[in-house]
Protein backbone atom coordinates (compact mmCIF):
# COMPACT_ATOMS: atom_id res chain seq x y z
CA UNK A 1 0.00 0.00 0.00
CA UNK A 2 1.35 3.39 -0.96
CA UNK A 3 1.81 6.22 1.54
CA UNK A 4 0.73 9.80 0.80
CA UNK A 5 1.68 12.52 3.29
CA UNK A 6 0.41 16.08 3.15
CA UNK A 7 3.00 18.60 4.38
CA UNK A 8 1.07 21.80 5.09
CA UNK A 9 4.19 23.80 6.00
CA UNK A 10 3.29 27.13 7.71
CA UNK A 11 -0.32 27.13 6.52
CA UNK A 12 -3.65 26.37 8.24
CA UNK A 13 -4.32 27.38 11.82
CA UNK A 14 -6.58 25.25 14.02
CA UNK A 15 -9.88 26.41 12.49
CA UNK A 16 -8.72 25.80 8.91
CA UNK A 17 -7.31 22.43 9.94
CA UNK A 18 -10.63 21.28 11.36
CA UNK A 19 -12.49 22.51 8.27
CA UNK A 20 -10.07 20.70 5.95
CA UNK A 21 -10.32 17.38 7.77
CA UNK A 22 -14.11 17.62 7.95
CA UNK A 23 -14.25 18.13 4.17
CA UNK A 24 -11.61 15.61 3.09
CA UNK A 25 -12.93 12.32 1.73
CA UNK A 26 -9.92 9.99 1.90
CA UNK A 27 -10.10 6.97 -0.41
CA UNK A 28 -9.54 3.41 0.74
CA UNK A 29 -6.48 1.47 -0.38
CA UNK A 30 -3.84 4.08 0.46
CA UNK A 31 -2.07 5.06 3.69
CA UNK A 32 -2.63 8.79 4.32
CA UNK A 33 -1.06 11.11 6.90
CA UNK A 34 -1.33 14.86 7.40
CA UNK A 35 1.45 17.08 8.74
CA UNK A 36 -0.02 20.33 10.12
CA UNK A 37 1.86 23.23 11.67
CA UNK A 38 2.65 22.84 15.37
CA UNK A 39 -0.23 25.11 16.43
CA UNK A 40 -2.72 22.84 14.66
CA UNK A 41 -1.49 19.41 15.74
CA UNK A 42 -3.76 19.05 18.75
CA UNK A 43 -7.00 19.74 16.85
CA UNK A 44 -5.95 17.41 14.01
CA UNK A 45 -5.40 14.40 16.28
CA UNK A 46 -8.39 12.09 16.55
CA UNK A 47 -10.09 13.16 13.32
CA UNK A 48 -9.58 9.96 11.37
CA UNK A 49 -6.08 10.28 9.94
CA UNK A 50 -2.62 9.81 11.45
CA UNK A 51 -1.02 13.14 12.29
CA UNK A 52 2.71 13.87 11.90
CA UNK A 53 4.66 16.94 13.00
CA UNK A 54 6.89 18.82 10.54
CA UNK A 55 9.97 18.65 12.77
CA UNK A 56 11.15 17.21 16.10
CA UNK A 57 14.15 17.95 18.34
CA UNK A 58 16.70 15.38 19.44
CA UNK A 59 16.54 16.25 23.16
CA UNK A 60 13.70 15.20 25.46
CA UNK A 61 13.69 18.64 27.08
CA UNK A 62 15.99 21.62 27.56
CA UNK A 63 16.82 25.20 26.64
CA UNK A 64 15.92 24.92 22.94
CA UNK A 65 13.61 27.86 22.29
CA UNK A 66 11.14 27.22 19.49
CA UNK A 67 11.73 23.46 19.31
CA UNK A 68 9.48 20.54 20.32
CA UNK A 69 10.47 17.13 21.69
CA UNK A 70 9.32 13.68 20.68
CA UNK A 71 7.73 12.94 24.09
CA UNK A 72 5.70 16.16 23.80
CA UNK A 73 4.44 15.07 20.39
CA UNK A 74 3.58 11.62 21.69
CA UNK A 75 1.60 13.17 24.57
CA UNK A 76 -0.48 15.10 22.02
CA UNK A 77 -1.26 11.90 20.14
CA UNK A 78 0.99 12.71 17.20
CA UNK A 79 2.19 9.52 15.47
CA UNK A 80 5.21 10.68 13.50
CA UNK A 81 7.36 13.52 12.18
CA UNK A 82 9.01 14.82 9.05
CA UNK A 83 12.76 15.25 9.50
CA UNK A 84 15.32 17.00 7.30
CA UNK A 85 12.99 18.69 4.83
CA UNK A 86 14.93 20.73 2.27
CA UNK A 87 13.49 23.95 3.68
CA UNK A 88 14.88 23.01 7.10
CA UNK A 89 18.25 22.24 5.53
CA UNK A 90 18.36 25.42 3.44
CA UNK A 91 16.72 27.98 5.72
CA UNK A 92 17.50 26.69 9.21
CA UNK A 93 20.99 25.20 8.86
CA UNK A 94 19.90 21.57 9.21
CA UNK A 95 22.82 19.19 8.60
CA UNK A 96 23.15 15.47 7.96
CA UNK A 97 24.23 15.07 11.59
CA UNK A 98 21.27 16.96 13.07
CA UNK A 99 18.97 14.98 10.76
CA UNK A 100 20.45 11.78 12.15
CA UNK A 101 20.01 12.97 15.73
CA UNK A 102 16.39 14.02 15.17
CA UNK A 103 15.58 10.70 13.48
CA UNK A 104 17.15 8.68 16.27
CA UNK A 105 15.32 10.58 19.01
CA UNK A 106 11.96 10.33 17.25
CA UNK A 107 12.32 6.62 16.60
CA UNK A 108 13.48 5.95 20.16
CA UNK A 109 10.36 7.70 21.44
CA UNK A 110 8.10 5.56 19.27
CA UNK A 111 7.34 8.06 16.52
CA UNK A 112 7.32 7.15 12.86
CA UNK A 113 9.61 9.24 10.63
CA UNK A 114 9.59 10.56 7.08
CA UNK A 115 13.15 11.74 6.46
CA UNK A 116 13.90 13.84 3.39
CA UNK A 117 16.88 13.73 1.03
CA UNK A 118 17.56 15.37 -2.31
CA UNK A 119 19.94 17.39 -4.42
CA UNK A 120 19.92 21.07 -5.40
CA UNK A 121 19.75 22.19 -9.02
CA UNK A 122 23.45 23.12 -8.94
CA UNK A 123 24.35 19.68 -7.59
CA UNK A 124 22.30 17.96 -10.30
CA UNK A 125 23.87 20.08 -13.05
CA UNK A 126 27.32 19.25 -11.66
CA UNK A 127 26.56 15.51 -11.83
CA UNK A 128 26.63 15.17 -8.04
CA UNK A 129 23.15 13.74 -7.48
CA UNK A 130 24.38 10.23 -6.71
CA UNK A 131 27.07 11.46 -4.31
CA UNK A 132 24.65 13.77 -2.49
CA UNK A 133 22.07 11.00 -2.05
CA UNK A 134 24.69 8.56 -0.83
CA UNK A 135 25.99 11.07 1.74
CA UNK A 136 22.54 12.00 3.02
CA UNK A 137 21.23 8.43 3.16
CA UNK A 138 24.35 7.25 4.99
CA UNK A 139 23.32 9.44 7.95
CA UNK A 140 19.85 7.91 8.25
CA UNK A 141 19.22 5.13 10.82
CA UNK A 142 17.82 1.79 9.67
CA UNK A 143 14.42 1.27 11.29
CA UNK A 144 11.09 -0.30 10.39
CA UNK A 145 9.24 2.89 11.38
CA UNK A 146 11.22 5.11 8.99
CA UNK A 147 10.61 5.94 5.36
CA UNK A 148 12.64 8.21 3.08
CA UNK A 149 11.24 10.96 0.89
CA UNK A 150 13.26 11.87 -2.19
CA UNK A 151 12.61 15.55 -2.80
CA UNK A 152 14.85 17.15 -5.42
CA UNK A 153 15.37 20.64 -3.99
CA UNK A 154 14.98 22.21 -7.43
CA UNK A 155 11.40 20.86 -7.56
CA UNK A 156 10.22 22.11 -4.14
CA UNK A 157 7.65 24.85 -4.61
CA UNK A 158 8.95 25.69 -8.08
CA UNK A 159 6.39 23.90 -10.21
CA UNK A 160 9.22 21.81 -11.67
CA UNK A 161 8.89 18.05 -11.27
CA UNK A 162 11.37 15.27 -11.84
CA UNK A 163 10.43 13.13 -14.80
CA UNK A 164 9.13 9.70 -13.81
CA UNK A 165 12.38 8.25 -15.15
CA UNK A 166 14.54 10.57 -13.00
CA UNK A 167 12.41 9.79 -9.95
CA UNK A 168 12.68 6.06 -10.58
CA UNK A 169 16.46 6.29 -10.94
CA UNK A 170 16.90 8.27 -7.71
CA UNK A 171 14.59 5.93 -5.79
CA UNK A 172 16.53 2.91 -7.02
CA UNK A 173 19.76 4.50 -5.77
CA UNK A 174 18.25 5.18 -2.35
CA UNK A 175 16.85 1.66 -2.06
CA UNK A 176 20.27 0.20 -2.82
CA UNK A 177 21.53 2.04 0.27
CA UNK A 178 18.58 1.75 2.65
CA UNK A 179 15.96 -0.99 2.92
CA UNK A 180 12.83 1.12 3.25
CA UNK A 181 9.92 2.64 1.38
CA UNK A 182 10.79 5.75 -0.63
CA UNK A 183 8.30 8.54 -1.33
CA UNK A 184 8.61 11.17 -4.06
CA UNK A 185 8.26 14.83 -3.11
CA UNK A 186 8.59 17.80 -5.41
CA UNK A 187 5.62 19.63 -6.95
CA UNK A 188 3.38 16.55 -6.90
CA UNK A 189 -0.02 17.53 -8.28
CA UNK A 190 -3.17 15.68 -9.36
CA UNK A 191 -2.02 16.12 -12.98
CA UNK A 192 1.28 14.25 -12.54
CA UNK A 193 0.62 12.01 -9.53
CA UNK A 194 -0.49 8.90 -11.39
CA UNK A 195 2.53 8.91 -13.72
CA UNK A 196 4.95 9.33 -10.81
CA UNK A 197 3.24 6.88 -8.48
CA UNK A 198 3.16 4.06 -11.03
CA UNK A 199 6.96 3.92 -11.14
CA UNK A 200 8.03 0.62 -9.54
CA UNK A 201 10.40 2.17 -6.98
CA UNK A 202 8.03 5.00 -5.95
CA UNK A 203 6.18 3.95 -2.80
CA UNK A 204 4.11 7.08 -2.33
CA UNK A 205 4.34 10.85 -2.20
CA UNK A 206 5.19 13.71 0.13
CA UNK A 207 2.87 16.46 -1.08
CA UNK A 208 3.31 20.17 -0.36
CA UNK A 209 1.12 22.86 -1.91
CA UNK A 210 -1.28 20.43 -3.55
CA UNK A 211 -2.16 19.00 -0.12
CA UNK A 212 -3.69 22.29 1.05
CA UNK A 213 -7.03 21.80 -0.74
CA UNK A 214 -9.13 18.75 0.20
CA UNK A 215 -10.12 17.79 -3.36
CA UNK A 216 -6.60 18.23 -4.74
CA UNK A 217 -5.14 16.11 -1.94
CA UNK A 218 -7.86 13.50 -2.30
CA UNK A 219 -7.17 13.27 -6.04
CA UNK A 220 -3.50 12.53 -5.38
CA UNK A 221 -4.49 9.92 -2.80
CA UNK A 222 -6.82 8.30 -5.36
CA UNK A 223 -3.95 8.21 -7.87
CA UNK A 224 -1.93 6.26 -5.30
CA UNK A 225 -4.51 3.48 -5.24
Choose, from 85, 87, 171, 178, the residue flagged as catalytic.
85
Q: Is the dihedral of CA 49, 55, 60, 65 positive or negative?
A: negative
The alpha carbon dihedral of 51, 53, 54, 55 has a sign of negative
CB 148, CB 175: distance < 8 Å: no
Residue tagged active-site, from 94, 123, 151, 171: 151
Q: Which of 184, 18, 42 is nearest to 117 (CA)?
A: 184
CA 53/CA 37 separation, integer angstroms? 7
d(C-alpha 198, C-alpha 212), whole Å: 23
Based on the number of CB atoms within 10 Å of its own CB, is 31 exposed (0-12), middle (13-18) or buried (19 or more)?
middle
| Residue 191: φ, ψ to 5° | -70, -30
d(CA 128, CA 166): 14
31 counts as catalytic: no
- Does the annotation count 151 as an active-site position? yes
Task: Tell which residue, 173, 116, 115, has the closest CA to residue 146.
Answer: 115
Active site members: 85, 151
Amino acid sequence: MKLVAGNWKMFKGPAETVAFLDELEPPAGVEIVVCPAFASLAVAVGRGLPVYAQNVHWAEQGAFTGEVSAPMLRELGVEGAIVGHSERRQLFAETDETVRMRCAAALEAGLRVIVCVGETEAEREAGETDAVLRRQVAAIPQHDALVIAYEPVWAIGTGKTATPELAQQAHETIKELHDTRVLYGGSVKPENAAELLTQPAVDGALVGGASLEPESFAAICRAAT
